[in-house]
Structure 1
Amino acid sequence: MNLYAAVIAVIVLTLLSVSLARLGKVKTKADYLVAGRTLPAFVLIFTLLSSWIGSGSLLGGAENAYKHGFVALWQAGGGWAGLLLIYFIAPRARKFAQFTIPDLLEARYNQTARVLGVIAILLTYTAITSYQFIGGGDILHLIFPEVISPLLGRYILAAFVIVFTAIAGMSSVAYMDLFIGLLATTTMCLALPILVHHAGGWSAVHAALPATHFQLLGDLSFIKCLELFLPTCLLLLGNQSMYQKFFSAKSEKDARRAVVGWIFGTVILETVIVAIAVTGSTLFPNGEVSKAPREILAYCGLHGFEPAATTIVLGANGQVASVTPAAAVSTTSVYLLRLLGALLMGAIFAKIISTANNYLFSPATNLVNDIYVRYVSPEASNKKILIVSRLTVVLLGIWALFQSLGTESVLKKALYAYTIYAAALTPVILAAFFWRRATAAAAVASVAVGTAVTVAWDTVAPHLPPSIGQRDAIFPALIASLLCLFLVSLFTTPPSPRQLEPFGEA
C-alpha cells in the first residue's frame, strides 16, 4: 500500500510543481483565461484528451462496461462522431478567438443568449465537476480504507482541484494535462494486455461472460444506446472547455492538427478503458467491487496485478487447462507488476483531477468574463480580474462539492449534465457557424427551452409511469430545443451581415 501512496504523492507534487511553474507567466486576463493564445498542437492534443476523458468514462463508462460489456462504447462513440465534425469547426473557432462560448453567443445572437448560456454552462459544468470529486474520493478510500472514507476523499480531492485550478488558470490546466495525458495513455495501454493475460487470455474472458457483452447492442435497446450516444456527441460538439482550448491555440493550423491527434487518442483510450472494465468483470465477478462497479478500473489497479496464481487458461470444454503458479514469477516481475498497478491507479486519479480542473475552470471564466467584466466592472484591471477569477474558482468548487454529496449514480449524473448542454447550447453553437438563417430570438428560445426541459424532466421523471420516467431527457429536451431554433428563426428577421462576418469560412 505504501507504493500506491507514494505514486499518488509523486503525482500530486508533480501537478503542483507544474502549476507553480506556470504562475509566473500569468500577467493578464488573456494569460489566465486562454494561456495567452500560445498553446502548440502537441500540448493541445493532450489537454483536449485529458479534459474529455474523466469520471464520465473512467467511472460511468466503466460501470456500464462492467455490467453490459462493449455496448458501453455507444457512450464513447458519441464522442468519436462529434470529433469528426469538430475537425471542421476547430479552425473557425480559433479564427473567432474570443474567451468563452457566451462571447460567441452574444457576437452571433444577443446579450440575452449570452446570459442564458452562462446559466446552462454553470449547471452543466459544476455537475460534471461534482462527480469527479466522487471518483477521486473513491480512489483515495480504496488506497487508504482505514483512514479515508469516500466522503472525506471527496473533500480532499476538491481541495486539490481548487488549488491547482486557481493558481495559473488555463496555462496551469493545459500543461498539467500534458503530463496526465501521457501518463494515462501509456499506463492503460500497458495494463490491458497484462490484465487479459491474468484472466487467462481473451478467449477465457469471452467464455466467462454472456455473449451479449460482445454484441453491438448487447442487452440494451437501440433507444437506450442512442440515449448514451446523443448526449455525449452533442456535448462534445458544443463543449466550451474544448472551444477555450481552440481559442488558446497558437494558430488555426495548430487547432486543426490537435483535433487529428485528439481523435486517435480518444478512440484508443476509451476502447482500452472499456476493455479493462470488461476484463475486470471476469477477474472480479463478485465481492465488494460488484456492489460498486464504477470502481472497477481502480480496483484492477489495486488487485489485478498481484502475481499469485492468476494466469488461468481454459480448455475448449470450459475446464481449467493450466495455471501459472506464483513461484514462477520473479521478484523483479512482482515489483514491476505492482508498480504498474500503482501507476494505473495514479493515472486514473490524475485524469479525474485533470477533468475536474477543466470543468471547474471553464464556468469560472464565464462568471468573470461574461458577467463580472461585461456587466459589473468593465474597467477592472488585470490584477483585479485575476483575484476575482481565483475567488470564483474557489466558490464554484465548493458548489460542485455540495452537489457531489447528493449524487448516487455517476452515470446518471453524467447523462443529466451532458443533456443540459446538448439540448441547450450545442444546437445554437453549431448554427452560429453553419446556419446563417439562425436568429437571436430563436437562439434565446432554444437555450431557454433546452435547459428548462432537461431540469424539469429530471425533477418529474421519478413520478411518471416507468415506461416514460425511466427514459433519459435527451429526446424531449433536444426536440423541443431544435423546434424552437428552426421555427422561431423562420418567423423572425434574419441576422445582419455584420453578425455573420466573424463566423464565415476559416
Structure 2
Amino acid sequence: MAFAISIMALYFLILTGLGIYKASKIKNQTDFSVAGRSLSPWVLVGTMLATWVGTGSILGNAGKAYETGLAALILPIGSVCGIILLTQIAGKVRSYEKFTVPEILADRYGETARLLGVFALVCAYMVIVSYQYNAGGAVLHTILKGSSFEMSMSLAIKIAATFIVIYTMLAGLVSVAYTDVGNGIIMTISLMIAFPVLWFMAGGASGMETAFASMNKTNHMKFWGVYSNIELVNFLLPPFLLILGDANMYQRFFASKDAKGAKKATIVLIFVVAVVEILIIACAWVASSLVTEETKGKYILITIAHSFLEHGHLATLLGALMLTTIIGIIVSTADSYLLVPATTIMRDVYQTHVNKDANEKKIVLLSRLLIVALGLIAYWVSTAFAQSETFFTKALYAYTIYGAAITPVLVAALFWKKASSKGAIASIIAGISVTILWSELTNIFYVMGKEEAFLQSSFYNEIYKPTDAVLPAIFASVACLIIFSLFFPDKAKKTSAEESQ
C-alpha cells in the first residue's frame, strides 16, 4: 500500500513540476491555448489518445463490460469510426488558423451560431469535467482506504478537483500535451501487462465460463446477440458524434505544426485508440469473473488494481502502475475538457463582444481565472450528481446536446457549401431542444396529468422507452440543417476561411 501511495505521489509531483516549468514559458494566448502551434504528429497522437480515453472508457465502458461481458468489445466501434472520418477533417481544420470550434461556426454562419455553439459546448463540457472529479476522488478514496491517509469520498473529490484545476491553469495546453504523451505510454504498457496476468488469474476461458455460470451471468461469454439493434445505436452513435465534432480534438489540430502533421497523427490515432479501448474492455471483462460483489462492478478496474496491492511485489507494482494509469487518464481528460471551454469563452465571448483590444498578458490571466471559475462550476455539478441519481441521469443528455447540436453544423461548415446561417441556427436549436424534450417527455405528461396513459401507450413501450435522445435529436438536427439551408440560402459570399485557402 505504501509503495502504491509513493508511486502516485511521485506522479503528482512530476505533473506539478512540469506545469510550473512550462508556466514560465507562456507568453501569449497562442502558447497557452494551442501550445504555440508547435506540436509534432507523435505528441499529437499521445495527447489526443489521453484526452479521448477518459472516464467514459475506464469507468463507463469497463462498467458495461462488467454488466454485459464480452459483447462490450463492440463499444469502441463508434469512436473508431468517428476518428476515421476525422482523418479527412484534421488537415482542413488546421489550415484555418483558429483557436476554437465556435470560431469556425462564426466564420461560416455568423454570431448567433457562434454563441449557440458556446452555450452547447460549455454545458456539455462542465458535465464531463464533473465526472472526472468523481472518478479521481474514487481512485484516491480506494487507494488510501485502510491506510493512515484514509479519507472520505467527499474530501477525495475535493482534492482531485483542486489538483486538476491548478494543473490546468498553470500552463494550459503546453503542459497538458506533453504529460498526455507520458500518460498514453503508461496507459498502453500497463494494460498490455494486465490482460495476460488477469487471464491467468481467471483460469483462461474455461475458468471464466465456470465463474460466470456460478454468478448466473450466462451471456458474459457471448460477443453477438447480447445487445439489441436499438441498443447498439444508442451506445455507438453518441461517441461517434462527439469525437467527430469534439472541440478537444479540433484544439489539438489547431496546435499542430502544420496540416500534414495533424492528418498523419489522426491516422495513427485510429489504431492506437482501437487497441487501448479493446484492452480496457478486455481487462474489465476478465476481471469481472474475479469480482463477485455487484457494488464493485462500477469501478471494476479500480477494484482489481487495488486487489493487486495485496499480493506479491510484482503484483503490487502492476497494481500501482494500473492505478497511476487510471488517475493519469482522468487528469488528462479533465484538464482538456476544462481548458477548451475557458479558451472558447475568452475567444468567442470576451475578445469578440467585450474587449477586442485586450493585451496578451491580460488574456492569459483571464483565461486562468476562467479555468478556476469553470472548475468551481464543474465541482458544483459533481456534488449534485452525488446527491441525486435523477439529476445525474438528466445531466447525461448534455453529452448528446453537443453531438447533436454542434457536429452536424460543424461538418457542414467544412464540407457542404450550401449550408446556410439559418440552417445552422435551426439545426443547433433543434439538437438542443429535442434532446431536452425527449429526455423530459415523461415529466411533461406528468405535469399534464396524463403520465399513466403515456406509460401504457405503444409509443412509450415500443419507441420512446428503448430509444435514447440521441437518435431523435440527431435526426431533427440534420433535417433542420438541410431543409432550412435549402429554403433559406445565404447570399453568395466568401468566408474568411475560404479566402485564406
Q: Judge same fold: TM > 0.5, yes or no.
A: yes
Q: Distance in 2 between matches of 1:241 and 1:137?
A: 23
Q: Which residue of structure 2 aligns with residue 327 of structure 1?
A: none
Q: Which residue, 233, 236, 257 being the options, matches 2:240?
A: 233
Are the counterparts in 2 of residues 56 and 411 from structure 1 also a CA contact under 8 Å? Answer: no
1:495–1:340 CA distance, 2 compared to 1 (3 A): farther
Deviations 1:204-259 (A, max 9, x none): 22443345334444433210111010000000000000000000000111101111
Deviation at 1:411, TM superposition (A): 9.6
In structure 2, the partner of 1:489 is 485
2:301 maps to: 297
Matches of 1:346 and 1:94, distance apart in 2: 33
Q: Answer whether contact 2:127 2:396 (CA < 8 A) is retained.
A: no
- Is 1:51 the equivalent of 2:47? no
**CA distance in structure 2 between the partners assigned to 1:88 and 1:428 by the alignment:** 16
Q: Find the counterpart in structure 2 of residue 425 from structure 1.
A: 406
**1:386 pairs with 2:375:** no
Tell me the TM-score normalised to structure 1 length.
0.90
Farther off after superposition, 98-107 or 274-283: 274-283
- Retained in 1: the 8 A contact 2:108–2:421? yes
Correspondence 1:198 to 2:201: yes
The match for 1:167 is 170
Label 1:348 to 1:503 Cα distance change in 2 as closer, same or farther (>3 A). Answer: farther
Once residues 148 and 458 of structure 1 are traced to their aligned partners in structure 2, the CA distance between those partners, rounded to angstroms, is 36
CA-to-partner distance for each residue in 1:47-95, whole Å, 9 max, x for gaps?
A: 0000001001111111111000133234321100101111111100111
Segments of structure 2 that go 5 or more residues without pairing to the other structure are 447-453
> How many percent of aligned residue pairs carry the same amino acid?
37
Q: Which residue of 1 aligns with 2:417?
A: 436
Matched, 1:35 2:20: no
**In structure 2, which of residues 474, 478, 493 is the aligned counterpart of residue 478 of structure 1?**
474
Greater displacement, 189-198 / 18-27? 18-27
What count of residue pairs does the alignment treat as equivalent?
A: 476
Q: What is the one-letter code of the residue matched to 2:187?
A: A
Counterpart of 2:244 in structure 1: which amino acid? L
CA distance in 1, matches of 2:326, 2:229: 30
- Whether the 8 Å contact between 1:91 and 1:253 is mirrored in structure 2 is yes
Residues of 1 paired with 2:392 and 2:236: CA distance?
Answer: 13
Q: Which blocks of at least 5 consecutive residues in structure 1 are unaligned?
A: 308-333
**Aligned residue for 2:158?**
155
What residue is the counterpart of 1:144 in the other structure?
144
Pair 1:336-2:332 in alignment: no
Match of 1:276 in 2: 283
Whether the 8 Å contact between 1:108 and 1:499 is mirrored in structure 2 is yes
Alpha carbons 1:127, 1:413 under 8 Å: kept: no
Query: Structure 1's 411 and 49: CA in aligned 2 closer, same or farther, altered over 3 A?
Result: farther
Contact residue 232 and residue 418 of structure 1 kept, 8 A: no
Alignment partner of 1:162: what SS?
Answer: helix
Map of 2:127 onto structure 1? 127
Give the residue type in structure 1 aligned to 2:273: T
> Structure 1 residues 271 and 34, CA, compared in 2 at 3 Å: closer, same or farther?
same
1:414, CA displacement in angstroms? Answer: 8.5
Q: CA, structure 1 residues 266+387, in 2 after alignment: closer, same or farther (shift >3 Å)? A: same
Asked if the contact 1:141–1:148 (Cα under 8 Å) also holds between the matched residues in 2, the reply is: yes
1:358-373 equivalence runs, <5 A: 358-373=336-351
Code of the aligned partner of 1:200: G
TM-score (norm 2): 0.91
Task: Say whether the 8 Å CA contact 1:440–1:495 is kept in structure 2.
Answer: no
**3-state SS, counterpart of residue 148 of structure 1:** coil
- 2:328 maps to 350
- Please give the alpha-carbon distance, in whole angstroms, between the structure 2 residues aligned to 1:180 and 1:142: 20
Q: Contact between 1:29 and 1:382, CA under 8 Å: does it hold in 2?
A: yes
1:7 to 2:34 alignment: no
User: Residue 96 of structure 2 contacts residue 497 of structure 2 at CA under 8 Å; is this kept in 1?
Assistant: no
Q: Please give the alpha-carbon distance, in whole angstroms, between the structure 2 residues aligned to 1:63 and 1:358.
A: 23
Alpha-carbon distance in 1 for matches of 2:258, 2:315? 42
